[in-house]
Structure 1
Amino acid sequence: MSADQLPVQDLPDFSYAGYKNGSAPLALEVLKSLDVTEFGAIPDDGVDDSRAFLAAFAAAEDSDGPVAVEIPAGRFIVSEILYLQRDNLILRGAGNQKTRLYFPRPLRLLPDPPELAELREYLTEMDKRQREKQNNIDLPFTQYAWAGGYIWARKPGERVKAYLDKYDTPVAAHAQPVAGERGKRWLTVKSAGQLEAGQVINVNWYNRAGRDSPLLKMLYPGVDKIGSHHWAFPSRPLVSQTSRILEIKGNRIELSDPLLHDIEGFTTDITRKPYLQNVGLEDFTIEFPASAYVAHHVEQGFNGIYLTRVYDGWVRNVDIINADSGVLTEEVANLTIRDVTTSGEHKAHYSVAMGDTHNVLVENLHVQNLVIHPLSFNTFSTKSVYTGCTVDQRPILDQHSGANHQNLFDNITMYVELNDQEISERRYSAFKGGGAGYWKPTHGADSTFWNIRLLFSGVPDEKATITLDGVADGPNANIYGVHGNRKVDIDYGPSADIAAVNQAISDQPSLYQLQLSKRRIKSRPTDNASDLSATTDNSVK
């Protein structure tokens, strides 16, 4: 199957995902390097190195200009959270086969992080519990099921995630949009007096019209059953796009990436939040001890990396062993997470999770271990991409409700070993929808699947057709090029556009790369165009 035979021109443009919208290499010219051994860390001595690492991070915070904290080859033991909380910072090892960070204890044995106080209160008030009668489990969710990490990027003093409305405070609008078209990078505001070129802004769409609002009809066309959280918090954005202002002409502003939705007909504003910028993690291994698996949502806190409030950053060439969750995110945009491998004996919750992401690119992720949600778009995620990823065990393309939409699973390889029941029924749940009922449906319009390859084992009949079970409530999905070593058919709805089943898209295996290459060969747009930001300077100003 050729990409020319598919409606590529009708799909969202996912090419803006990644560090600086895919326009720049993962690099930062640093003015100063701080080696953790200069602060007392000694590799391979079996002694805890936490104090030395904390001292190195403190020195990095006190340094002027871009700085790197360097970790040489060897095994280092760390038992404290390492907070990255300044711009222009790299945490760099000597290579993922040379530098190993060993974290011997779960986060639950550390003092409770104040940033997660609202989450803890929410879990208690909502009586969030994992109940599995067949396994004699009735246990409270832990705060580390989907939050926290030993390497934690944060903007100090900022709310990590809104859970309880009693903590909501008014947010001042910096501008009021009056016109703008989905897919275009220019929009018109009433006044641009509080805006400047170079600023990172949030373009917000609100649902203040209840369960029958135009915004919900746009997000979930043809869907009647929608969870109450979509209208329970009218002061919070239901959809938010984090972007940089490239240029201002009068009352018109140019964004670094195309608008998610039209402006006219919806309640919108432009606000600003503080973000860390130009933060990179690279070239090391994170290892936890092998530990007993308790239950879903009862994870003890063997979490590797937690990225919150980061705009323009990366993680690359990192191996993560025996984690509850490898990489977790919250309120991040323009990240590239590349060449990460998760492995180990421990059953994990997430490998690299997309939570409240915009334009986040996960590229060449290899999930070797057993993971409940190996690839997952979670609450509020938009225009984010998994591409070139491989899942070795019980692969699932998970969409976790909460107004996630316009995301892409791209050029994914899934190794599927069917169990006896699946062989008998000739069915496999390749597409899953998690999340709480108050955040359903599973996903909004334009979730996209491109060139998904399934390699089945344990199917004795070579002529068998395996039905891939999709989600029942996610509307208007785009599913192209699902194929494998057995014939498949796809049960997905409502209104899914399904084409090229049992055919590889051989000429363009990656939709992301196809769209990126098209954008790169175009000239920089003028006036109302929505093309190349790849040639623009999106650096911090």
Structure 2
Amino acid sequence: MARAARRPPQRGMSTISMALAAILMLAPTLAAAAPGVSKLWGAAGEAWNPAGRLPNFSFAGYRQGGVPLPTPPATRSVLDFRRAGGTDTQMLQDALAWAHAQPVDPNAYLVLTISAGAYTLTEKLVIKRSRLVLRGAGMGATVLQVPKSLTDIYGPNKDTDWGGYVNAGAFISVSGKTQKGVQVAQITGVANRGDYTVTVNNPAFLTVGEIFDIWFTDINGRFNSAMFDGKADPPPKFNGKTWTRFSPRVLQIVGNRVTLERPLPYPIAPDVCRAAFYRRPATTEEERGWSGVELMNGVQAIYICVSPYSPHHLLFIFGLQERGWSGVELMNGVRNCWVKDIELINPDNGVMVNYMVSQATIRNIRIRYTAPRGNNIPNAHNQPTDADGHWGLVYSFAQDILFDGWDFIGTLEHDVGTGFAGQFGVFMNGLSSDGNLDLHRGLAGPTLYTNINVGKGSKALLSGGPKSAGPNSVAFSTWWGITAAQPVAPNKSDKKPGDCSFGPSINLVGLTLGSTAGMCPSWFYEPAPLAPTNLYAAQLARRQAARSAGALAG
């Protein structure tokens, strides 16, 4: 069943001031829809066009959405593994070692529970087994105290030139294998964006009802340009690369024609891209969970991580890096996993989803800071460093990720957002003090941000990322149902708000902009208030209803 749409979270009262009609007339594409509904969607999806500018984001999340997260019974307590004279970390590592040595039952989960209490964690915990759940007793009940950073324990990050744990590295890691699987069919001929049917060279190894990965490889920059709706040119360094994965279920095979459950996000043509079906590796780790735990980073060390936040992208010669006070990371090809009900205190990064992860749900994440961590130390990019932390929630080179519910008190460089080649993800039902909803360049998006209260709203649509990686967003990223205490400025990065350099053909629906003067003409704007406030929930409900009726609605 689709989850009922929630109102944007509130901390006190938030107000939205409607812009003057005279100002709104300056919007490049201001819809003439019926009052209260969007021209892109209508009341119940009747206006939606699969070939139009609004993607279907409803396939994000565990099992591609609409499936409740598992709640399997406990198997063993980690307390069973406590050694006489041993440390909490040894106990936790021994419990995981035992779990990893057990055979995987495809019809059952192995659930390790961490009883209420405080435990000291001085090493990473890595979940590497399918159908393994690590479950605490709840926020504030099970507390993992982390007295040393990753830099203190393991030294500088060897995967970065500067040694910092900027976008990766965490104390809890769910890790798999980065395998594309076996190519089972090549897509031939031409297909348009929004089509449900493609032609393949040989359908013999495709199976009706199975989900396959379609990988797109660019040809001479033409596919990359199509990702930007033909209105922007990404950097040549991405030419010929394979950064886009799309995961449809096969519904029907007739001859060499294959019908998909979800519409193609991009056109396919012999001179634009090479596209092929891959069967997912049978060894891909999935069905893993992490929940009900509070992570307290550095609070035992007289607030080492509170004084101050080691600056973002600081030059290594200064000796102060983002040292790795980070919470949870899903990485390396895992799918159908979840993280829920986690509180992080004083983190550099909250929850990161990195590198070929798909179909994951991150739910109910809370971040707090016990004292300000900002500083005035210049960094390598001459950026301000007055934040308490870096990312709250982020996904990069990952697809179909659902972030459902967060509550952040503090100042982050980027509250939630999309990193390099993060695609088809959703952020919804969130609350920040003064948050931003980020697209971080490098073929990032399309992403949906919906039913979110950004708090103060001073930087709601501000994004970062290296200029060398091109526009902040590919086409059709969507901000829908965004609440703030004031009208917000249009999307911006290093140039003025509303500049086309941010990325073309984005959608701004159900929010209030302070001004649309000079805004990029390819952007689509419909001011608040509009229904539905949660587009993901509406799209999912429509898809499930159509499936029950035996029709396509993807």
TM-score (norm 1): 0.78
Q: How far is the alpha carbon of 1:263 from its aligned partner?
A: 3.0
Selected match of 1:341 from 366, 369, 372: 366
Q: How far is the alpha carbon of 1:18 from its aligned partner?
A: 1.2
Selected match of 1:366 from 407, 427, 432: 407
Matched, 1:387 2:428: yes
Separation (CA, whole Å) in 2 of partners of 1:523 and 1:514: 14
Selected match of 2:505 from 476, 482, 488: 476
Selected match of 1:189 from 193, 200, 212: 200
Contact 2:546 2:552 in 1 (8 A): no
Q: C-alpha offsets along residues 291-346 of structure 1, whole Å, 9 cap, x if unaligned?
A: 12121133101111110122111111111111110111112111111111111134
Report the CA distance shift for 1:224/1:67 in structure 2 as closer, same or farther (over 3 A): closer
Matched, 1:328 2:352: yes
Contact 1:258 1:530 in 2 (8 A): no
Q: C-alpha offsets along residues 342-370 of structure 1, whole Å, 9 cap, x if unaligned?
A: 11134111001121221111111112121
Q: C-alpha offsets along residues 153-183 of structure 1, whole Å, 9 cap, x if unaligned?
A: 1125x48xxxxxxxxxx98633201265544
Matched, 1:229 2:240: no
Contact 2:225 2:234 in 1 (8 A): no
Separation (CA, whole Å) in 1 of partners of 2:97 and 2:535: 42
Contact 1:333 1:359 in 2 (8 A): yes
The answer for the alignment partner of 1:285 in structure 2 is 294
Contact 2:261 2:552 in 1 (8 A): no
Report the CA distance shift for 1:5/1:225 in structure 2 as closer, same or farther (over 3 A): closer
Report the CA distance shift for 1:310/1:254 in structure 2 as closer, same or farther (over 3 A): farther
Contact 1:324 1:350 in 2 (8 A): yes
Report the CA distance shift for 1:286/1:245 in structure 2 as closer, same or farther (over 3 A): farther
Separation (CA, whole Å) in 2 of partners of 1:101 and 1:76: 5
SS of 2:327's equivalent in the other structure is strand
Instruction: Within 5 Å, give how 1:409-488 maps onto structure 2.
Output: 409-416=449-456, 428-456=458-486, 467-468=489-490, 469-470=497-498, 472-473=500-501, 474-483=503-512
The answer for the alignment partner of 2:40 in structure 1 is 7
Separation (CA, whole Å) in 2 of partners of 1:147 and 1:273: 25
Q: How far is the alpha carbon of 1:41 from its aligned partner?
A: 7.3
Report the CA distance shift for 1:183/1:218 in structure 2 as closer, same or farther (over 3 A): same
Q: Percent identity?
A: 24
Q: Quick one: which amino acid aligns to residue 93 of structure 2?
A: L
Report the CA distance shift for 1:317/1:270 in structure 2 as closer, same or farther (over 3 A): same
Q: Quick one: which amino acid aligns to residue 219 of structure 1?
A: M
Q: C-alpha offsets along residues 218-261 of structure 1, whole Å, 9 cap, x if unaligned?
A: 12235455323321xx2x31322245556766645565644322
Contact 1:205 1:238 in 2 (8 A): yes
Instruction: Within 5 Å, give how 1:150-229 maps onto structure 2.
Output: 150-155=171-176, 158=178, 173-178=183-188, 181-183=192-194, 186-196=197-207, 201-210=212-221, 213=222, 215-221=223-229, 223-229=231-237
Report the CA distance shift for 1:243/1:49 in structure 2 as closer, same or farther (over 3 A): farther
Q: How far is the alpha carbon of 1:197 from its aligned partner?
A: 5.8
Contact 1:228 1:439 in 2 (8 A): no
Separation (CA, whole Å) in 2 of partners of 1:514 and 1:284: 31
The answer for the alignment partner of 1:311 in structure 2 is 335
Q: Quick one: which amino acid aligns to residue 184 of structure 2?
A: H
Q: How far is the alpha carbon of 1:199 from its aligned partner?
A: 5.9
Q: How far is the alpha carbon of 1:150 from its aligned partner?
A: 1.0
Contact 1:173 1:270 in 2 (8 A): yes
Separation (CA, whole Å) in 2 of partners of 1:36 and 1:73: 11
The answer for the alignment partner of 1:164 in structure 2 is none
Separation (CA, whole Å) in 2 of partners of 1:333 and 1:447: 18
Separation (CA, whole Å) in 1 of partners of 2:230 and 2:260: 31
The answer for the alignment partner of 2:447 in structure 1 is 407
Q: How far is the alpha carbon of 1:405 from its aligned partner?
A: 2.4
Matched, 1:398 2:438: yes
More strand per residue? 1
Instruction: Within 5 Å, give how 1:232-311 maps onto structure 2.
Output: 234=240, 236-243=241-248, 251-253=256-258, 257-265=262-270, 266-272=273-279, 274=281, 275-289=284-298, 290=303, 291=305, 292-297=308-313, 298-308=321-331, 309-311=333-335
The answer for the alignment partner of 1:423 in structure 2 is none
SS of 2:203's equivalent in the other structure is coil
Separation (CA, whole Å) in 2 of partners of 1:105 and 1:249: 59
The answer for the alignment partner of 2:381 in structure 1 is none
Q: Which ranges of structure 1 fall in alignment gaps of 5 or more residues?
A: 124-139, 160-169, 418-427, 457-464, 533-541
Alpha-carbon RMSD across the aligned residues, in angstroms, is: 2.9
Separation (CA, whole Å) in 2 of partners of 1:259 and 1:223: 19
SS of 1:402's equivalent in the other structure is coil
Separation (CA, whole Å) in 2 of partners of 1:480 and 1:383: 18
Selected match of 2:101 from 62, 82, 102: 62
Separation (CA, whole Å) in 2 of partners of 1:250 and 1:155: 36
Contact 1:183 1:260 in 2 (8 A): yes
Matched positions, count: 463
Contact 1:33 1:68 in 2 (8 A): yes
Contact 2:128 2:176 in 1 (8 A): yes
Separation (CA, whole Å) in 2 of partners of 1:110 and 1:496: 47
Matched, 1:531 2:550: no
Q: How far is the alpha carbon of 1:518 from its aligned partner?
A: 1.4
State the structure with bigger RCO (CA 8 A, min sep 6), 1 or 2.
Answer: 2
Report the CA distance shift for 1:438/1:410 in structure 2 as closer, same or farther (over 3 A): same
Separation (CA, whole Å) in 2 of partners of 1:154 and 1:52: 20
**Range that drifts further, 81-90 or 177-186:** 177-186
SS of 1:481's equivalent in the other structure is strand
The answer for the alignment partner of 1:37 in structure 2 is 79
Report the CA distance shift for 1:226/1:431 in structure 2 as closer, same or farther (over 3 A): same
Contact 1:431 1:471 in 2 (8 A): no
Report the CA distance shift for 1:48/1:217 in structure 2 as closer, same or farther (over 3 A): same
Q: How far is the alpha carbon of 1:39 from its aligned partner?
A: 0.3
Q: C-alpha offsets along residues 262-316 of structure 1, whole Å, 9 cap, x if unaligned?
A: 3345321233554321111111111101412121133101111110122111111
Q: C-alpha offsets along residues 412-434 of structure 1, whole Å, 9 cap, x if unaligned?
A: 112227xxxxxxxxxx5432232
Q: How far is the alpha carbon of 1:504 from its aligned partner?
A: 1.6
Q: Quick one: which amino acid aligns to residue 243 of structure 2?
A: L
Q: Quick one: which amino acid aligns to residue 404 of structure 1?
A: A
Q: Quick one: which amino acid aligns to residue 509 of structure 1?
A: T
